[in-house]
Structure 1
Amino acid sequence: MTTSTVPQTTADRVALARRIGTMLRPEVAERDRTGEISVTAFDTLRESGLSAALVPAEFGGGGATHREMGEILRELGRHDPSTAVTFAMHSHLVATQVWRHNHGNDASAVFEKVVAGAILVSTGASDWVGSNGRAERVEGGYRVHARKAPASGCEVGTVLVTSIRWEAAPGGPQVLHCAIPMAAPGVRIEKTWDTLGLRASGSHSVVLEDVFVPDAAISLARPADLWPPLLNVVIGAALPLVMAAYLGIADEALYFATALVAGRTDPHIFQLAGELTNAHTAAADLIEAMFIGSDNLRFANTDDYAARTLSRKTVAAETLIETVRLAIETVGGVGYSRTCELEMRYRDVHGCLFHPLPRAKQTQFTGRVVLGSGPLG
């Protein structure tokens, strides 16, 4: 993929996402039934240049803005929720590197991999602050053992972006952030993802058994049980993109429901359509505010910014779920049937609850920051 072949405008990128989504749509229901990820989807996203859309143009990528990437994910979410949410996992890792680049750090190695076709797999949601696994210091690097779940897209990914706990580090436990090729010896996938929704996201467990990680692959070593500023960056880069994919799910639920009841004049239908629109508008406005706040991945690395982003995520999640619930209520009993696509979308949209941070953890995080106690107890 060269710069000249990567879509260059928002309209071009969204139109391309729409074409890809339309192509994928006929198989979505079957993949929801079987739980199989679409390899074709990720081959197409790679070949189309969308997987490298966020990479700055000077590194061979598309130079898309943070908001533009959100629009791509939103459009995909209308057609294929599992693919959109999984693609958001790759995209947020790229976005984090763009933030680093914008703040004077060298992110060229990751950009080169992504432009060459790498699909990045994140384990950050389960690792969070303390991480897990076991690292042992050896000559030239570490031997690591861990089980990472969920790891969305691991079956189609090429690089695992993860962290490992090094309990025996001099000076106290550390967390080692690293990138491990999915094809490295000792890396395997266990197909453990069997869920209510987003069944075709391939969010299985990645098992690391005596995997060698060279020193050069360690991007950061930090104290294991202190809040790391890196996570402020990840929150600000990731959550707008992730929630944009879920907004696409709600967009399609709104469209489907209003199209299905068009022409009806029952008073309660007008009432429900108004409530449905209110919920959708609130969700869309909150997610737009997240992108405005990100300042195209130039936001300040502060606890306050992370706390505000997390607050918006929680409220957006509640209103997204309410949107799809109201879509079902608006269309009536048919929406409760598995023959209606709203049933799948209602299951899928609930996935937004489980991205960092779930509501109870978020409110504690934000409350501590607002009251000056810092993110962690």
Structure 2
Amino acid sequence: MTVLTEDLLLGIRERAADYDRDNTFPFEDLDALRAAGYLAPRSLLETARDQRMLAAYAPATALAVNMHLVWVGVARVLKDRGDSSLQWVLDDAAAGELFAFGNSEPGNDLVLWDSLTTVDTVEGGYAFTGTKIFTSLSPAWTRLGVFGKHGDTLIHGFITRDTPGWRALDDWDTLGMRATQSHTTVLEGAVVPEERVARILPVGPNADPFVFGIFANFLLLIGSVYAGIADRALELGVEAVKRRTSLKTGETYDRDPDFRWRLADAALALDALAPQLETLAADVDTLADHGSRWFRLLTGAKHRSTETARYVVDQAMRSAGGGGYRSSSELARLQRDVLAGIYHPSDTESVHSTVATNLLG
């Protein structure tokens, strides 16, 4: 059952434009979502549905909290499969702590299979030194997941906000998704204590349940966010053609066959997303076994969601006329926000490589 009430969502939508214009973090949104219990552990299917709904009201807010929800989802995936090593993540999330991702690195196209961050052993833990980019929730996180390389192993763990040896750069000035405030994080010997080490894995591809949990939650929740953007864009496109009148015919554009075809085509593309996203989320929840096809299915779902969302927003922009091109219009903001989808792992090249490997070896 969703905790996203109409009043909560409308308040979030009303603030979205200001956060975007001012390039500031949505603290008020975060407080409202935390108070409503939105950050607490739930099933992946429930979370995916709600993330899609939230993104239709404020894409950047949804994308920001997505990172917290991914970590909670990873802990839940492990627990459902008999591994309670991240029970503390579920407990902290239920208590109101906020988790963020410190994984992405400049120049690292191997994503989770290798790291440019170095790890040294120290008394009681591991010291991480490196640069992490796209750290969403940067002004607000209380727990940051990081990983780095020690010899031929990759060490995944968590630091807290009061851990010495890290700093955030005030460098988030992007085209869209501005409210995520995904600042660069510099690790300068930040120590992960042994009890907060989540996994130690070999360098290279790995199907460990921890890695599976990251991919499954990240890709399906990212896909849900961009599906939500498309939902709102289609809604605005429909409103626009009902409002606009043709001087040539004297009728509103919702009677024009070209606009009817354009929006119908966008809707057809969008209708295909829910069955795939929700079926895969339910499969994760119910421990379905897709074997080696899992990564193909998950990356494919994300790819189709982000690409479809871009197409739907484009059709809505074309339907809205010149008014949609004004910087103050919601559609213009959605057009900027939806572009961020091409930068999230897995990118288009990686997706096709994953599918080809599954098909051809």
Distance 2:189 2:104 in 1: 23
- The answer for the alignment partner of 1:99 in structure 2 is 77
Distance 2:351 2:322 in 1: 35
User: Taking structure 1 as the reference length, what is the TM-score of the superposition?
Assistant: 0.86
2:269 is the alignment partner of 1:279: yes
- The answer for the alignment partner of 1:83 in structure 2 is 61
* Alignment match of 2:131 (pick from 134, 147, 161): 147
Distance 1:266 1:136 in 2: 66
- The answer for the alignment partner of 2:246 in structure 1 is none
* Alignment match of 2:48 (pick from 45, 54, 70): 70
Runs of 4+ in structure 1 over 6 Å off: none
- The answer for the alignment partner of 1:25 in structure 2 is 13
Q: C-alpha deviations, 1:327-371, integer Å up to 9, x for none?
A: 111122222221321111011112222222001111112211222
2:335 is the alignment partner of 1:356: no
2:263 is the alignment partner of 1:270: no
Residue identity in the other structure for 2:115: S
Does the Cα contact within 8 Å between 1:24 and 1:41 map onto a contact in 2? yes
SS at 2:171's partner residue? Answer: coil
Distance 2:123 2:50 in 1: 44
Decide which moves more: 153-162 or 19-28.
Answer: 19-28
Distance 1:164 1:317 in 2: 28
Residue identity in the other structure for 1:44: A
User: Taking structure 2 as the reference length, what is the TM-score of the superposition?
Assistant: 0.90
Q: C-alpha deviations, 1:295-347, integer Å up to 9, x for none?
A: x2624484321121111221222111101100111122222221321111011
Distance 1:201 1:258 in 2: 28
Residue identity in the other structure for 1:72: D
2:165 is the alignment partner of 1:178: no
* Alignment match of 2:217 (pick from 237, 256, 279): 237
* Alignment match of 1:50 (pick from 15, 38, 51): 38
User: Any unmatched runs of 5+ in structure 1?
Assistant: 1-8, 56-63, 168-172, 373-377
- The answer for the alignment partner of 2:199 in structure 1 is 220
* Alignment match of 1:128 (pick from 100, 107, 112): 112
Q: C-alpha deviations, 1:250-275, integer Å up to 9, x for none?
A: 11111111012124322222121212
Distance 1:117 1:70 in 2: 20
Distance 2:321 2:272 in 1: 23
Report the alpha carbon displacement of residue 118 of structure 1 after superposing the two structures with TM.
Answer: 0.7
Distance 1:34 1:128 in 2: 33
Distance 1:243 1:254 in 2: 17
SS at 1:153's partner residue? Answer: coil
Provide closer, same or farther for how the CA distance between residues 98 and 344 of structure 1 changes in structure 2, counting only shifts above 3 A: same
Distance 2:224 2:31 in 1: 22
- The answer for the alignment partner of 1:322 in structure 2 is 311
Report the alpha carbon displacement of residue 30 of structure 1 after superposing the two structures with TM.
Answer: 2.0
Distance 2:140 2:288 in 1: 31
- The answer for the alignment partner of 2:295 in structure 1 is 306
User: Any unmatched runs of 5+ in structure 2?
Assistant: 106-110, 243-251
Q: C-alpha deviations, 1:3-43, integer Å up to 9, x for none?
A: xxxxxx24xx243xx43221122221121122211112112
Q: C-alpha deviations, 1:108-127, integer Å up to 9, x for none?
A: 21111111111100134445
SS at 1:122's partner residue? Answer: strand
SS at 2:56's partner residue? Answer: helix
Report the alpha carbon displacement of residue 129 of structure 1 after superposing the two structures with TM.
Answer: 1.4
* Alignment match of 1:112 (pick from 87, 91, 112): 91
Distance 2:261 2:146 in 1: 47
Distance 1:316 1:353 in 2: 10
Aligned length: 344
Does the Cα contact within 8 Å between 2:295 and 2:354 map onto a contact in 1? no
